[in-house]
């Protein structure tokens, strides 16, 4: 999921409107700079990203309002929401491929809104998952916590460096695709989310099989 975030951020910042799809604090700063410079395009892009992220997160909040997170597994409501993210990313990939990786102004706005909505869904789904998940779209706090509480600790969380590396890899591979095969670059985030969902389904499938055998 973190690698998918890195890929979406690359598409959003490099190939769309130079705003982030999942890092809203940075977008607020970009919005302020655009207002200060009198750049209508920058204001619109930042507002689209903020609105898309907020809508995606709000939808997950509503769908998981009665949800209680588990310790080890992503629950059915969380999986359903992440399936919705996959659908949004797949639709965006289809539009991206149809325009050959060079969207016009209106299409770019639609894709910007959709990318931010996907990241809002992912971020809120990870919050709803509770202790069975970790932040995947905004890792500044994760890095700060690791430095303060992890470095020098007897048993530091080894998954934090792995997630940070995944973010870099996702962004790097997406950038390479943008240069070599731009029409297919948007397929990468959707494919990465699909792989994450298939991996997350395996423990649920095993639990169901065990329950069936027990009965």
pLDDT < 50 positions in the chain: none
As a whole number of angstroms, the distance between CA 116 and CA 114 comes to 5
What tens digit of pLDDT does each residue of 66-88 get? 776 665 678 888 899 999 999 99
Domain ranges of the chain: 2-214
- Angle (CA) 152 155 156, round 5°: 65
User: For 35-65, what is each residue's pLDDT tens digit?
Assistant: 998 888 789 999 999 999 999 999 999 998 8
CA 103/CA 159 separation, integer angstroms: 37
149-169 core/surface letters (b: 16 or more CB in 10 A; e: else): ebeeeeeeeeebeebbebbee
Sign, CA torsion 206/201/24/181: positive
Q: What is the structure's pLDDT at 181?
A: 95
What is the model's pLDDT at position 39?
81
Q: How far apart are CA 67 and CA 13, in angstroms?
A: 33
Nearest to residue 53, comparing CAs of 18, 94, 25, 15?
Answer: 25
């Amino acid at each position: 999921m973190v690698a998918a975030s890195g890929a979406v951020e690359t598409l959003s910042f490099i190939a769309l409107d130079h705003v982030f799809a999942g890092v809203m604090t940075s977008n607020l700063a970009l919005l302020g700079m655009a207002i200060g410079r009198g750049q209508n395009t920058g204001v619109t892009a930042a507002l689209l990203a903020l609105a898309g992220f907020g809508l995606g997160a709000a939808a997950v909040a509503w769908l998981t309002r009665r949800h209680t997170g588990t310790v080890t597994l992503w629950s059915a409501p969380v999986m359903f929401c992440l399936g919705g993210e996959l659908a949004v990313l797949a639709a965006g990939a289809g539009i991206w491929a149809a325009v050959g990786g060079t969207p016009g102004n209106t299409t770019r706005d639609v894709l910007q809104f959709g990318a931010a909505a996907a990241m809002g869904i992912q971020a809120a789904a990870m919050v709803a998952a509770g202790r069975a998940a970790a932040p995947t779209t905004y890792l500044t706090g994760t890095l700060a916590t690791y430095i303060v509480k992890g470095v020098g600790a007897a048993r530091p969380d080894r998954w934090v460096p792995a997630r940070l590396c995944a973010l870099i890899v996702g962004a790097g591979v997406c950038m390479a695709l943008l240069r070599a095969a731009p029409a297919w670059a948007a397929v990468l985030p959707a494919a990465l989310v699909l792989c994450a969902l298939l991996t997350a389904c395996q423990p649920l499938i095993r639990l169901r099989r065990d329950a069936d055998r027990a009965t």
